[in-house]
Structure 1
């Protein structure tokens, strides 16, 4: 089993912690506000350990970026030393939010958050995945939708992508629902999906959403 550090304590962290703990992995949750333990009781209830972000990154074999995308790059680059050589799973979308709380524009329109992270930390093995669905609970429950969704992988390190694909399997993603898009530059395509969320919600209402590929 793997020791996994999750940076962030929001809905993404909660969903992934539950799914990965059920698969037998050791979970360490890194928070910038690790002293605010009253509001983070769910971490202990899930059998995970709460610590600060640096300790979580340092102690884990694989690290997940579950922080808000607009803050991710600054936080992760501050952990450059702790993340050196490790697999970093980036699940975030870096956007400017509109008044309704939905994405209004991409913060990296000519590239992607994942590419910017990889460029800033060339010795970290970045893999983009799980950023084309919502709510976050779908990340660990892909079978809950009426049509099988897909999870995309983007990254320059083949071994890192195999590791991430294995963890996706632990979260309930069959291998035929995981699509390797290629290098880290391909992350800009699924990251742009977030701009489709507002019109979809306007058309369908606040229903669970994920991408599926018909073939």
Structure 2
């Protein structure tokens, strides 16, 4: 059992919190208010950023003390939304939210994952008709191993998880969010994930 704080109580955060609790972890869910987030982060070993990506950097940079020495799992994408509310562009072109977080939180181990799929797939990968892929980006090998084990608790087979390397590789997976509006306009709001076929 691991103590986990999920920051963000929307569909993504709620879905992850429910699944991780079911897997036997001690999970606290905090909304976006600074006090609630700080309290939750302070007592957790692992913190999951499930807040809207556009405001994540400022929100989490304010928790530098609470996040010191912790693993921060970043599942968000920082995008500018179009008129229909779907992602239209990246807030950090040439970089990524994960890299910006690592720069702002040098004593925190940032691991980017689960950001290349619609949220239901994060906790039910086996429900798709073919195996999806979860990518890992981060500078700390032990932190990535811990997150890989967490993914196993969420139903991810080890062979479905690909370690891309350092935190700078997150800019590639974050750019994949630009597929989402086109796929949704074409196929509707049906669960899907980016997958590497071999």
Measure how far apart 1:206 and its partner are.
Answer: 2.4
- Please point out which of 85, 108, 114 is paired with 1:130: 114
Instruction: Give the number of equivalent residue pairs.
Output: 198
For 1:31 and 1:207, the matched residues in 2 are separated by 27
Q: Does 1:106 align with 2:86?
A: no
Aligned-residue CA RMSD (Å): 1.2
Measure how far apart 1:33 and its partner are.
Answer: 4.8
Q: Does 1:177 align with 2:169?
A: no
Match of 2:14 in 1: 14
Match of 1:194 in 2: 177
For 1:174 and 1:32, the matched residues in 2 are separated by 31
Measure how far apart 1:23 and its partner are.
Answer: 1.0
For 2:19 and 2:32, the matched residues in 1 are separated by 23
Measure how far apart 1:203 and its partner are.
Answer: 2.2
Higher mean C-alpha deviation, range 13-22 or range 103-112: 13-22
The two structures have a TM-score, normalised by structure 1, of: 0.90
For 1:112 and 1:118, the matched residues in 2 are separated by 10
Q: Does 1:164 align with 2:147?
A: yes
> Closer, same or farther in 2 for the Cα pair 1:126/1:33, shift >3 Å?
closer
For 1:199 and 1:138, the matched residues in 2 are separated by 18
CA-to-aligned-CA distance 1:176-203 (integer Å, 9 cap, x gap): 0000000000000010011111221222
Measure how far apart 1:113 and its partner are.
Answer: 0.2
Measure how far apart 1:18 and its partner are.
Answer: 1.3
Give 4+ residue runs of structure 1 displaced > 6 Å after superposition.
Answer: none
Measure how far apart 1:159 and its partner are.
Answer: 0.2
Asked if 1 retains the 8 angstrom alpha-carbon contact of 2:29 and 2:40, the reply is yes
CA-to-aligned-CA distance 1:16-67 (integer Å, 9 cap, x gap): 1111111100001112359xxxxxxxxxxxxxxxx81000010100000000
Match of 1:78 in 2: 62
SS at match of 1:210: coil
Structure 2 spans left out of the alignment, 5+ residues:
none
Asked if 1 retains the 8 angstrom alpha-carbon contact of 2:20 and 2:153, the reply is yes
For 2:76 and 2:3, the matched residues in 1 are separated by 21
